[in-house]
């Protein structure tokens, strides 16, 4: 992690904890890795983001319906979808330190003129400190001094080191070589059991994505509504992945929320819908305040695509925990062809010579049978029956929350309290605050009714304590866009001041206009 970026991230994490956005789960017992709780401000922020998504993607459209499926589904769903066999990361364990690492995130630094006996020092690729430690240990061992000259030393991904040479590798947090196990598959699904008997027959899984609930309900939605293709089904809710190395605050956690759409269309129209959703989803983040120079669309190269896919794009954000110039995935938009519906009809599919075929065992039997239900669609206008193609914009509510927090975090040294959160008013946890300038002279009697009228429509706070400067600063840190202050002049002419969080500028408006002013600000 780059040091400057790291400092910013540390300050953001500290503010989130201090002001009640995000806490470590079970903190009083030392926390639990990969789980986070949202505090009073955080829960409002995340709800606002989810509500904005639901409003803009479902309510504001004629071609979308919603769904809310269970977290535990029939275990066969995950066998047919491929998650049971394929949803895994390669991991290595360190026998000395008991630490576990994702193999694809480790590199080694080694001597170029390696005689086959030299030590190699492993480090976590994205962690500058881990790399510096590895280089220091290598330099000490080779009796040279860091920085290591490029012509003599070089870096290689751990996965390119043959297994037979692992006895020469020193783990990222170990001192002696040979303590890392060879990479092995680790399925990311959390297991549980339904009913009283804990055996294979009763084994179930916590869903690792919300998408499968949509596919298995495709027919139910078609049969119970009058919606016609092209249309989408949206769902948001918790997903669970037993990530080997949860990291970077709420970016990669083990329990998180997704906001997913499966958009079903005729195969001939799927490319057009893919392009539409890629651009529409990017614009959604821009409209809610993510700056375009920290946001980008990255089209996957042909070699990264599943063979059935005509395209996948990641919407990426330059999170401050990443090195300068690096971007991290915020949302994926994938063209999934007819893969999912066909799998749930016919059985688990596999690719062979560029084609999707039934995945069979050595005896030619399907490895995992499908439902056998007819998941085709009859288009009455085209007079054609087909398996719809699917475009999937799949967003993470926590990654979106983190991006909006990072984007909002601003340091303005000219202010008495320099940290403020410039949230778009639509997602700001508190929409406004109402202050009497002093808690006497009849000012609270004027301020309280204004507060009560606003509170009936929005989350608004009232504060009569401390100096006005401190009250503004508290609201700036919470990201509250407007503060209405009742002062001596209010008694004379009925006006209050409105202070704008981002500019600090104040203007006077009639106290009867507070609600109208706030409504305009939120809808801007
Ligand atoms: N149905 C497709 C799917 O689940 P994905 O790329 O694995 O695709 C979609 O996940 C989104 O879910 C990601 O872009 C990210 O925003 C979020 N996400 C995935 N794993 C996550 C994790 N461990 N912690 C937080 N968010 C995660």
DSSP string computed for 340-362: HHHHHHHB-EEEETTEEEE-B-T
Nearest in space to 45 (alpha carbons), one of 433, 395, 430: 430
User: Each residue of 56-70: pLDDT tens digit?
Assistant: 999 999 999 999 999
DSSP 190: P
Q: Which two tokens stand for residue 317?
A: 């954000």
* Predicted confidence (pLDDT) at residue 114 exceeds the cutoff of 80: no
Nearest in space to 124 (alpha carbons), one of 107, 143, 138, 142: 107
**Ligand 1 centroid, distance to 99 Cα (angstroms):** 24
**Ligand 1 centroid, distance to 308 Cα (angstroms):** 20
**Ligand 1 centroid, distance to 294 Cα (angstroms):** 19
At residue 303, the pLDDT reads 79
Nearest in space to 274 (alpha carbons), one of 235, 303, 308: 308
Confidence of residue 316 (pLDDT cuts 50, 70, 90): very high
Whole-number Å distance between alpha carbons of 389 and 399: 27
Q: Do residues 388 and 266 touch, judged by C-beta distance below 8 A?
A: yes
Whole-number Å distance between alpha carbons of 253 and 23: 13
User: Each residue of 68-82: pLDDT tens digit?
Assistant: 999 999 999 999 999
Whole-number Å distance between alpha carbons of 432 and 113: 65
Packing angle of the helix pair 40-54, 397-408 (nearest 10 deg): 110
Packing angle of the helix pair 3-18, 397-408 (nearest 10 deg): 100
Whole-number Å distance between alpha carbons of 271 and 311: 8
* Predicted confidence (pLDDT) at residue 346 exceeds the cutoff of 80: yes
Q: Which two tokens stand for residue 71?
A: 């977290």
Whole-number Å distance between alpha carbons of 44 and 66: 22
Confidence of residue 6 (pLDDT cuts 50, 70, 90): low
Q: What average pLDDT does this structure show over 409-413? A: 95
Residue with tokens 């510096």: 132
Residue 327 phi, psi dihedral angles, 5° rounding: -125, 150
Taking CA atoms only, the protein residue closest to ligand 1 atom 19 is 396
Q: What average pLDDT does this structure show over 333-346? A: 95
Mean pLDDT (the chain, rounded): 94
DSSP 225: S
At residue 128, the pLDDT reads 86
Q: What percent of the chain has pLDDT over 70?
A: 98
User: Each residue of 448-461: pLDDT tens digit?
Assistant: 999 999 999 999 99
Q: What percent of the chain has pLDDT over 90?
A: 84
Ranked by mean pLDDT, the top range of 98-107, 134-143, 388-397 is 388-397
- Provide the b/e sequence for 238-253 (b: ≥16 CB within 10 Å): ebbbbbbbbbbbbbbb
**Ligand 1 centroid, distance to 87 Cα (angstroms):** 13
Q: Which two tokens stand for residue 51?
A: 């509500």
**Ligand 1 centroid, distance to 246 Cα (angstroms):** 13
Whole-number Å distance between alpha carbons of 202 and 133: 46
Nearest in space to 375 (alpha carbons), one of 335, 347, 398, 399: 347
Whole-number Å distance between alpha carbons of 101 and 123: 10
CA distances from 378 to 70, 214, 375, 386 (A): 28, 19, 10, 7
Confidence of residue 3 (pLDDT cuts 50, 70, 90): very low
Pocket perturbation via mutation, ligand 1, pick of 49, 186, 250, 256 by most ligand atoms within 8 A of CB: 256
Nearest in space to 341 (alpha carbons), one of 188, 496, 233, 427: 233
At residue 5, the pLDDT reads 53
User: Rounded to 10 degrees, what is the CA torsion of 188, 189, 192, 194?
Assistant: -170
* Helix residue ranges, H only, 308-392: 339-346
Instruction: Enter the pTM of the model.
Output: 0.91
At residue 145, the pLDDT reads 77
User: Rounded to 10 degrees, what is the CA torsion of 149, 153, 158, 160?
Assistant: 130
Whole-number Å distance between alpha carbons of 293 and 168: 43
Q: What average pLDDT does this structure show over 228-233? A: 97
Residue with tokens 């590895």: 134
Q: Do residues 348 and 368 touch, judged by C-beta distance below 8 A?
A: yes
CA distances from 43 to 21, 327, 401, 409 (A): 7, 26, 10, 17
Taking CA atoms only, the protein residue closest to ligand 1 atom 17 is 396
DSSP string computed for 37-71: EE-HHHHHHHHHHHHHHHIIIIIT-SSEEE----S
Lowest mean pLDDT among 129-138, 141-150, 375-384: 141-150
User: Each residue of 10-53: pLDDT tens digit?
Assistant: 999 999 999 999 999 999 999 999 999 999 999 999 999 999 99
Radius of gyration of the CA atoms of the chain, in A: 27
Taking CA atoms only, the protein residue closest to ligand 1 atom 16 is 396
User: Each residue of 134-175: pLDDT tens digit?
Assistant: 999 998 888 887 777 787 888 999 999 987 899 999 999 999
Burial category of 361 from C-beta neighbours within 10 Å (exposed 0-12, middle 13-18, buried 19 and up): exposed
**Ligand 1 centroid, distance to 478 Cα (angstroms):** 27
* Predicted confidence (pLDDT) at residue 113 exceeds the cutoff of 90: no
At residue 256, the pLDDT reads 98
Strand 432-436 to strand 460-462: parallel, antiparallel, or no bridges (unpaired)? parallel
- Other CB atoms within 10 A of residue 2 CB: 17
Sign of CA dihedral 97, 98, 104, 105: negative
Taking CA atoms only, the protein residue closest to ligand 1 atom 25 is 252
Residues with CB under 6 A from ligand 1: 209, 211, 241, 243, 252-253, 256, 258, 260, 329-332, 392, 394-396, 398-399
Ligand 1 nearest atom to the CA of residue 210, by list position? 1
First to last CA, the chain: 37
* Predicted confidence (pLDDT) at residue 1 exceeds the cutoff of 50: no
* Predicted confidence (pLDDT) at residue 115 exceeds the cutoff of 80: no
Nearest in space to 299 (alpha carbons), one of 266, 275, 320, 322: 275
Residue with tokens 């504060």: 463
**Ligand 1 centroid, distance to 417 Cα (angstroms):** 36
Nearest in space to 349 (alpha carbons), one of 302, 301, 306, 392: 306
Q: What average pLDDT does this structure show over 482-507? A: 97
Q: Is 263 left (phi over 0), alpha (psi -120 to 50) or beta?
A: beta
At residue 146, the pLDDT reads 75
* Predicted confidence (pLDDT) at residue 462 exceeds the cutoff of 50: yes
Residue 104 phi, psi dihedral angles, 5° rounding: -75, -5
DSSP 323: P
Confidence of residue 4 (pLDDT cuts 50, 70, 90): very low
At residue 205, the pLDDT reads 97
Whole-number Å distance between alpha carbons of 65 and 231: 8
Q: What average pLDDT does this structure show over 105-111? A: 93
At residue 2, the pLDDT reads 41
3-state secondary structure of 399: helix
DSSP 364: S
């Amino acid at each position: 992690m780059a040091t400057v970026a790291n400092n910013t991230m540390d300050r953001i994490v500290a503010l989130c904890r201090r002001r009640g956005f995000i806490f470590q789960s079970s903190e009083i017992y030392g926390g639990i890795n990969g789980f986070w709780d949202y505090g009073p401000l955080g829960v409002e922020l995340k709800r606002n983001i989810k509500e904005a998504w639901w409003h803009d993607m479902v309510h504001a459209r004629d071609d979308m319906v919603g769904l809310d499926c269970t977290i535990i589904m029939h275990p066969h769903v995950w066998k047919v979808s491929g998650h049971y066999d394929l949803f895994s990361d390669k991991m290595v364990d360190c026998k000395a330190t008991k630490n576990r690492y994702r193999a694809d995130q480790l590199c080694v630094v080694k001597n170029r003129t390696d005689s086959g006996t030299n030590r190699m020092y492993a480090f976590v690729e994205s962690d500058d400190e881990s790399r510096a430690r590895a280089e220091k240990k290598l330099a000490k061992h080779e009796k040279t001094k860091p920085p290591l000259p490029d012509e003599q030393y070089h870096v290689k991904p751990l996965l390119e080191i043959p297994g037979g040479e692992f006895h020469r590798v020193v783990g990222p947090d170990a001192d002696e070589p040979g303590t890392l196990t060879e990479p092995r598959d680790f399925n990311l699904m959390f297991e549980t059991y339904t009913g009283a008997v804990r055996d294979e027959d009763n084994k179930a899984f916590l869903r690792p994505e919300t998408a499968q609930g949509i596919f298995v309900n495709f027919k139910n939605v078609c049969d119970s509504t009058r919606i016609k293709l092209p249309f989408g089904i949206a769902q948001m809710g918790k997903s669970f992945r037993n990530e080997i190395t949860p990291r970077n605050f709420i970016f990669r956690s083990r329990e998180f929320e997704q906001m997913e759409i499966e958009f079903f269309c005729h195969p001939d129209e799927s490319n057009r819908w893919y392009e539409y959703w890629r651009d529409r989803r990017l614009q959604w983040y821009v409209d809610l305040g993510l700056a375009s120079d920290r946001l980008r669309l990255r089209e996957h190269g042909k070699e990264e695509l599943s063979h059935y896919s005509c395209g996948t794009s990641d919407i990426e954000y330059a999170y401050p925990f990443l090195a300068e110039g690096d971007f991290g995935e915020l949302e994926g938009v994938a063209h999934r062809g007819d893969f999912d519906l066909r799998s749930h009809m016919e059985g688990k599919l596999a690719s062979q010579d560029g084609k999707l075929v039934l995945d069979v065992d050595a005896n030619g039997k399907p490895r995992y049978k499908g439902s056998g239900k007819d998941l085709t669609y009859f288009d009455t206008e085209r007079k054609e029956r087909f398996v719809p193609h699917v475009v999937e914009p799949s967003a993470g509510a926590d990654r979106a929350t983190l991006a909006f927090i990072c984007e909002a975090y601003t340091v303005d040294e000219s202010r008495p309290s320099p940290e403020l959160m410039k949230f778009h008013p639509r997602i700001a946890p508190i929409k406004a605050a109402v202050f009497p300038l002093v808690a006497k002279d009849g000012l609270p009697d004027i301020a309280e009714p204004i507060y009560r009228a606003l509170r009936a429509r929005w989350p608004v706070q009232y504060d009569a304590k401390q100096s006005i400067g401190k009250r503004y600063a508290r609201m700036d840190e919470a990201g509250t866009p407007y503060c209405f202050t009742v002062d001596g002049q209010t008694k004379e002419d009925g006006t209050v001041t409105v202070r704008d969080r981002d500019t600090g500028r104040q203007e006077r408006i009639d106290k009867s206009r507070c609600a109208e002013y706030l409504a305009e600000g939120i809808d801007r």
